[in-house]
Every structure is written in C-alpha cells, then in structure tokens.
Amino acid sequence: MPIRQLPDTLINQIAAGEVVERPASVVKELVENALDAGARRIEIDLEEGGIRLVRVRDDGGGIPPEELPLAVSRHATSKIASLDDLEAVATLGFRGEALPSIASVSRFVLASRRFDGDHGAALHVDGGRIGEVAPKAHPQGTTVEVRDLFYNVPARRKFLRAERTELGHIEEWLRSLALARPDVELRVSHNGRPARRYRGDLVSEGGGPASTDRLLETLGEEFAKHAMRVEHAGAGLRLHGWIAQPVYNRASADQQYLYVNGRAVRDRNVAHAVKQAFADVLFHGRQPAYVLFLELDPRTVDVNVHPAKHEVRFREQRLVHDFVYRTLHAALAETRAGAAVEAQP
Ligand code: ADP
Ligand code: MG
C-alpha cells in the first residue's frame, strides 16, 4: 500500500483507543470538562452502565454556538495556547482530544448556552460525522450526550463488561472526584432512577478540598471514624488530607486516593512512600487507607504523560517521596504517642 494521510474520523477513532476505554472514561472526560468550565452542579444520567447512554449536564460557562464545531475537532482547546501554558496547566483538560475521540465512537450530541449568550445551540456527531449547528433551547451551561458507545467499533464493544461492572467503574471514579470537590454537587441517575447524590455544600475545615462529611458520603462511617487529618507544608510542597488510623486497614489498595494539584492520579513513587510510612504499624499484607492531596509548583510536575492523564512525572521524585514519607511517619508517630498516654492509668 502507498503511504497515505488518514481521514480525520479514523485518526479520532485511533486516538479514542487511548482516551476511551469504557463508559467510565467518558464520564471522567465529560465531568472534567464541566469542572474546567466552572460548574457547581453536575447531573449525570446513565443507562445500562453507561453503555447505552452517558449524559452529563452542567451549569458552567457554556460554549458559544460558533465554537461548537471546534469543540469536537481534534487538538482544539480553550485551555492552553502555548508551551508555557502547558507547563503550568491548572485545568484538568488541555489536549483537546476528548470530545472528538468520544464523538468518533458514539452517537454524540453537544448542546450549550454561554453565560452571556441569548440562545443555545446543538451539534450532532454520528460516529465522527459532524452535522450542522442548529439552534436549541438550553439553560446556561452544557449538555453532552453519548449514546451507544463503540457502536461502530465492534472490536472495542466486545471488551465492555456487564452493566453492573461498568456502573461500578463509573461509581468508583465519581467517588474519587467527589472527594476532591466537596464544593460541587453531583447527581447521578441510572436507568431513570436516582442512584446517588453528592452534596455541593460541604465546606472543609482548614481550606482542604474535602471534608469529613464527604468522607462519610464516599468511604463510609468506618473510614470517617478513623480518619486522621494530615496537614504539612515545606520545601515548596504541601500534603494534606486524611489517613485512616492503622487499626482501620484494608486487604487491598481499594481506599487509596491520591491527588496531585487536584488531579486524581496513580503514582508508584508516592504510594511507596505512604506504604513505607505505615510499615511499622500495619501487619504484613494489609493496606493503609488514605485520601491525600499533594500540592506543588505545576512547573515541577509533568501531567502530559499519558492521554488519559492517570499518571504524572515529578521533576524531583526523591524530594516528593521523602516529603510524603516524613509527613506521614510523623503523623503516625504522634497518634502512637497519644495512644500510649491514653493507655496510662
Ligand atoms: P480539552 O478539555 O482538553 O480542552 P475537550 O475535547 O475535552 O478538550 O474539549 C474541547 C473544548 O470544548 C474545551 O477546551 C472547552 O473549550 C470546550 N468544552 C468542552 N466541554 C465543555 C463544557 N462542559 N463546558 C464548556 N466548554 C466545554
Ligand atoms: Mg476535556
């Protein structure tokens, strides 16, 4: 075959392979867009575990009608304009890839009205084929509807699991989001029934991005009861959040939430530091439970490691590791000292 330029739709479908693994990835990308748009209230309607439908409606800033086609075009973003912006990126999105990728593997509708717009508009995209922008009544904010995920990519559709499993992945991701944003209300419905509601008025003590009420809503009473507040800053780093007292521990790493500059990530380096801090106080094979927020100069952390942005790279990995280890080790030593005092007659 001669070398040829691939059509846009196919390019988007290939990119979708990285960005969109399952309905939970669609929910993640759409909700992150809503948050980037300043939404305070987000409604998520799901059908059949999100396979049949994911609809996300927000009350954020909206998109003007003339920009709707751009929003579904590849590498089009309102969030960065230069390499400098990328290095200090504060939004969850910046690649301009999610909407075109999702729209290329679903039946997709984007409807929006700008906060300063006098009418709304909608744009349909079917399997990557972009329609015409048409006027449509819409309150301020944006609604994205994604139907029949992977309907045109049978090889991917085969990998989707049962409705329950897909719903579980969505719920887990929403839990992690809810922990980071107690200021945003999330309402979830599944198959037409209200499934979950996270309140948006949970103000946190100490200005942290989560609150003990949120811990209760997301991780349950036992975690909340054993949660110890962590707060420490130094050397340009800040670590805050909660660790569960060692008596509350887990068989698996299912309650380990880490956020770097507000973004939920997995990081082996930090996970290792936490594990080491707990090494003396947990039985072998048991896992600590924690919700930790690490804040640092965005210029010292690369978030552009993978299209799905589950990972970051620290410029000073050792420094981060030691900071996390020392902070948690000290916090745990304090509780042990406290427990020893209480145990005295
Ligand atoms: P990215 O988030 O990386 O910029 P996306 O493909 O997710 O890329 O979105 C493309 C653009 O569409 C965004 O930069 C933003 O301007 C606009 N957009 C998407 N979703 C929303 C939304 N819910 N509210 C307002 N604007 C949005
Ligand atoms: Mg995005």
On the question of pLDDT at 339 being above 80, the answer is no
Whether pTM exceeds 0.90:
yes
- Supply the Cα-derived Rg of the chain in whole angstroms: 22
Nearest CA to ligand 1 atom 10: 71
Q: Do 81 and 194 belong to one domain? A: yes
* CA dihedral for 70, 75, 77, 82, sign (positive or negative): negative
Mean of pLDDT over the chain: 93
Is residue 121 a contact partner of residue 68, using CB atoms and an 8 Å limit? yes
Number of domains in the chain: 2
**Ligand 2 is a single-atom ion; what residues have CB below 5 A from it?**
33, 93, 98
Residue 304 binned pLDDT confidence (cut-offs 50, 70, 90): confident
On the question of pLDDT at 26 being above 70, the answer is yes
How many A from CA of 83 to the centre of ligand 2?
18
Q: Do 49 and 189 belong to one domain? A: yes
| Ligand 1 pocket test target in 99, 145, 304 with most atoms within 8 Å of CB | 99
* In a domain? residue 3: no
Is residue 176 a contact partner of residue 263, using CB atoms and an 8 Å limit? no
Residue 328 in tokens? 């948690």
Domain containing 239 equals 207-343
Residue 72 DSSP code: T
Q: Do 184 and 318 belong to one domain? A: no
Q: Is the CB of 43 under 6 A from ligand 1?
A: no
Per-residue pLDDT tens for 138-195?
999 999 999 999 999 998 999 999 999 999 999 999 999 999 998 999 999 999 999 9
Q: Which one of the ligands is nearest to 28 CA?
A: 2
Q: Which residues contact 134 (CB under 8 A, 6 or more apart)?
A: 121, 122, 123
Q: What is the mean pLDDT of residues 235-249?
A: 95
pLDDT at 175: 96
**Domain edge (last residue) among 151, 173, 198:** 198
Nearest CA to ligand 1 atom 12: 71
Q: Do 60 and 41 belong to one domain? A: yes
Is residue 226 a contact partner of residue 138, using CB atoms and an 8 Å limit? no
Q: Do 177 and 219 belong to one domain? A: no
| Ligand 1 pocket test target in 33, 85, 97, 105 with most atoms within 8 Å of CB | 33
Q: Phi and psi at residue 121, in whole multiples of 5°?
A: -150, 160
Is residue 302 a contact partner of residue 313, using CB atoms and an 8 Å limit? yes
| Ligand 1 pocket test target in 8, 36, 304 with most atoms within 8 Å of CB | 36
Residue whose pair of structure tokens reads 């609604």 in the numeric block: 143
**Domain edge (last residue) among 163, 198, 233:** 198
Is residue 65 a contact partner of residue 121, using CB atoms and an 8 Å limit? yes
pLDDT at 210: 55
